[in-house]
A = this chain, B = another copy of it.
């Protein structure tokens, strides 16, 4: 086990009707808030009205910036920064999924930074302070509600980049599983794939003596798979919605990688897929992760045997470990297929000729991954395995 520091001070308020508490929570920080959200779904479902009512009751002035899209755009972030500056807004309430929260985080660190906020995402400098953030989560997936990370797409340069900084962690996150009943099945599935990938990125490392966090990861993966499959035929199961929602947060709240680190090559490779094709991040992960596994498993067969036997309860073939491992990868692909996700680049609109450029961009800042360090050539091979 490696030395580590773990601190996650985000207050999670979880359960039925908890969105009604938003005014009380925001009031602890401010009288003026930027309400940041995506399309019109929060107005259709009535969530918008509930939020405005609660903020009004606590005399909180509300400014609005909607229009966040999946793979949130830098231009909207810059608009939000300008708005906060011109109105002296010191708190952002993000209502939505990872894209909205990540956009809010980017605005948060941009408000008091004199340069271009893209500097942070271009690794020119690191964010040191942010205005305060609160979250009402409507899409369990990215785990951004308690994480210190944000991923933004620079649409002009077709670049998708992530930043991690402690100051980006929200002050509070309100999670009501009932708010997720209305999600399209495909979006629920993409969310499950995203959270599963967050665990797998942490699980597949070469760090030794991490039995405890291995088991915590396995517990999380088993639950995600079980509950996401349950939602296929029972979309309004509060039990399944709540289990999946809490898994999504824990998958990315940093406790699962204490003392072990992570790999994150698959995330880097997926970012290039969704920067090119604008498919949902979770769908891209369902495509890239099995290909990555096939390419790297020989680096540590024990880890993949453990994954296969513990997460999928597949009996080990002691005479042929590769067979067992490939069964595990196949079981993962079957899970993705069961919940309606693509598992190949050929399942989506994809231009094969882009692969060299994508591999080059994915490795722009050097090799990626820790389970096996991947160069441009390796990444190309993985994209090809995913065809």
Contact = CB atoms under 8 A, between A and B. Distances in A.
Interface of A: 1-16, 18, 208-209, 211-213, 215-216, 218-220, 222-223, 226-227, 238-239, 242-243, 246-247, 250, 255, 258-259
A242 B259 contact: yes
Contact of A2 (B10, B15, B220, B258): B15
A211 B14 contact: no
A208 B237 CA distance: 13
A5 B9 contact: no
Contact of A250 (B15, B209, B255): B255
A16 B213 CA distance: 18
A219 B222 CA distance: 12
Nearest to A17: B3
A1 B243 contact: yes
23 contacts: A1-B15, A1-B239, A1-B242, A1-B243, A3-B14, A6-B11, A6-B12, A7-B9, A7-B11, A9-B9, A12-B258, A14-B258, A15-B259, A208-B239, A209-B242, A211-B226, A211-B243, A212-B247, A212-B250, A215-B218, A215-B219, A215-B222, A242-B259
A16 B3 CA distance: 7
| Max chain B C-beta neighbours (<10 A), residue from A1, A14, A212, A242 | A212
B14 A5 contact: yes
Oligomer: number of copies: 2
A165 to B, nearest CB: 16
Contacts of A213: 246
A211 B244 CA distance: 10
Given A211-B223, A212-B220, A219-B216, A12 B1 contact: no
Contacts of A243: 1, 209, 211-212
Contacts of A208: 239
Contacts of A6: 11-12, 14
A366 to B, nearest CB: 26
A10 B10 CA distance: 11
Contacts of A239: 1, 208-209
